[in-house]
């Protein structure tokens, strides 16, 4: 599942059909989800992370060391999609949890992201981090992606913003 904030890098949007084809060729279901605001405190209404920041005259929360934009623009839309997914509804009806596989690797940057999420408990989900379980860092992930014949995707804008913030 991919959560689209509406302001990903052009390279990210160009990569989606490449990855979608690979997943289709391997019989892997894939969905792109987006946050859809329902109520607006300020005008004009917004439908992307950038529009949200402009409407509310602020920067993304990552600029302040928080992660609420990830929650609002990535986690919530994914959770909402899963809430309407029949296999999840069946699992929850039987008192089971849905397993969420999260792609944090073992590199220092993702270790910090993992530390932020570590210990998060949900009555609906069990969280697993397979790349961390396997000890794969970003270089090992890139090697595997290349081995599949795919180009290496660029880093997300959030991690680039964090890196830029730390150096300024």
Q: Is 46 left (phi over 0), alpha (psi -120 to 50) or beta?
A: beta
Q: Which two tokens stand for residue 79?
A: 């959770």
**DSSP structural state of residue 43:** S
pLDDT at 61: 55
Answer whether 0.85 is exceeded by the pTM.
Answer: no
Higher pLDDT among residues 40 and 4, named by residue: 4
pLDDT at 42 (0 to 100): 65
Nearest to 80 by CA among 130, 28, 38: 38
**Least reliable range by pLDDT among 34-48, 51-65, 99-113, 118-132:** 51-65
Q: Which two tokens stand for residue 148?
A: 């599949």
Give the model's pLDDT for residue 158: 56
The answer to whether the beta carbons of residues 130 and 101 sit under 8 Å apart is yes
Question: pLDDT class for 159, splitting at 50, 70, 90?
Answer: very low
- Is the predicted pLDDT of residue 160 greater than 50, yes or no? no
Please give the residue that has the higher pLDDT: either 154 or 94. 94
Determine which helix (DSSP H) or strand (DSSP E) holds 3, and give its type and residue range.
strand 2-3
Whether the pLDDT of residue 44 is over 90: the answer is no
């Amino acid at each position: 599942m991919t959560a689209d904030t509406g302001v990903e890098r052009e390279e990210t949007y160009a990569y989606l059909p490449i990855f979608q084809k690979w997943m289709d060729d391997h019989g892997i279901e894939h969905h792109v989800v987006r946050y859809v605001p329902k109520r607006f405190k300020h005008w004009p209404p917004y439908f992307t992370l950038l529009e949200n920041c402009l409407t509310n005259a602020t920067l993304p929360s990552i600029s302040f060391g928080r992660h609420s934009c990830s929650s609002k623009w990535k986690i919530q839309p994914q959770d909402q999609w899963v809430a309407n997914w029949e296999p999840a509804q069946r699992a929850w009806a039987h008192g089971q949890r849905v397993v969420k596989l999260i792609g944090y690797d073992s590199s220092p940057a993702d270790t910090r992201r993992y530390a932020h999420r570590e210990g998060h408990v949900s009555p609906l989900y069990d969280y697993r981090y397979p790349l961390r379980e396997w000890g794969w860092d970003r270089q090992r992930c890139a090697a595997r992606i290349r081995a599949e014949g795919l180009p290496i995707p660029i880093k997300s804008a959030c991690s680039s913003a964090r890196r830029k913030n730390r150096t300024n």
